[in-house]
């Protein structure tokens, strides 16, 4: 079922779960959500598949007066650079802005880990030898999925499944390049904003999001 707009993120997650349930229910899966909104989507998937869910946060590192992000850093400190920049350009930028980039890394790490708290910290042990389902609540580009892929590369997983209720054409291309399987309910040419495609885009407070992660087993369907 294709939908352009969704009543809310819970409905979007339920629709994605419809497409995953037959193949992956009870099949040793783990869900990784890339944001608070993605937790709401991913929780519906985790409930239906009877699996764990946790968060992998990433934050953009941007140079002064630049529109495009230079890189993203995840809450484990992994840095993924933007494909837009050539290796030569990256070396020049990293040399010129070394102190600024290092300061940004430390600041972003502090902010993400403060946001996650102990209850939201992802254990890589929960991902080994599992089908890992990486969840976004909407993708205007594929940068966060690329960061998740780089994080997962050293971990021995069965399959990597990338899912999103909707995504731009470049984001879908990024997912196809990196995932064993993708589920995207709608491809949108020009995404306005992520919230725009949900009639109700209210999110729970972050402490409630962390409780969803901690209590998911109690809500398996």
Domains and CATH numbers, the chain: 9-56+122-216 (3.40.50.2020), 59-116 (no CATH)
**pLDDT of 117:** 62
CB–CB of 164/3 below 8 Å? no
Among 21, 62, 71, smallest CA distance to 44 is for 21
**pLDDT of 29:** 95
d(CA 166, CA 158): 25
> What is the C-alpha R_g of the chain?
17
Q: What are phi and psi of 123, to 5 degrees?
A: -100, 120
**pLDDT of 1:** 47
Chain-centre distance for alpha carbon 156? 19
Q: What are phi and psi of 193, to 5 degrees?
A: -165, 160
**pLDDT of 161:** 98
d(CA 219, CA 221): 6
Please give the chain's pLDDT, 221 residues, in tens: 455 789 999 999 999 999 999 999 989 999 999 999 999 999 999 999 999 998 888 888 999 888 888 998 988 888 999 888 899 999 999 999 999 999 999 998 888 877 766 555 567 888 999 999 999 999 998 888 998 999 999 999 999 999 999 999 999 999 999 999 999 999 998 898 999 999 999 999 888 888 888 888 767 77
**pLDDT of 195:** 94
């Amino acid at each position: 079922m294709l939908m352009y707009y969704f009543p809310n993120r819970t409905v979007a997650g339920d629709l994605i779960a419809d497409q995953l349930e037959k193949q992956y229910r009870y099949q040793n899966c783990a869900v990784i959500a890339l944001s608070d909104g993605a937790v709401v989507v991913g929780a519906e998937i985790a409930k239906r598949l009877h699996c764990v869910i946790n968060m992998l946060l990433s934050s953009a590192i941007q140079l002064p007066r630049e529109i495009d992000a230079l890189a993203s850093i995840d809450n484990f400190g992994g840095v993924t650079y933007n494909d837009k920049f050539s290796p030569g350009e990256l070396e020049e930028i990293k040399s010129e802005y070394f102190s600024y980039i290092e300061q940004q890394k430390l600041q972003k790490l502090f902010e993400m880990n403060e946001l996650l708290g102990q209850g939201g910290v992802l254990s890589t042990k929960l991902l080994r030898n599992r089908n890992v389902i990486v969840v976004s609540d909407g993708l205007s580009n594929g940068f966060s999925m690329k960061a998740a892929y780089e994080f997962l590369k050293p971990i021995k997983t069965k399959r990597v499944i990338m899912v999103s209720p909707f995504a731009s054409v470049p984001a879908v291309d990024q997912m196809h390049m990196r995932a064993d399987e993708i589920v995207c309910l709608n491809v949108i040419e020009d995404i306005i904003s992520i919230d725009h495609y949900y009639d109700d885009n209210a999110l729970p407070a972050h402490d409630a999001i962390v409780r969803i992660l901690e209590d998911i087993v109690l809500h398996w369907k």
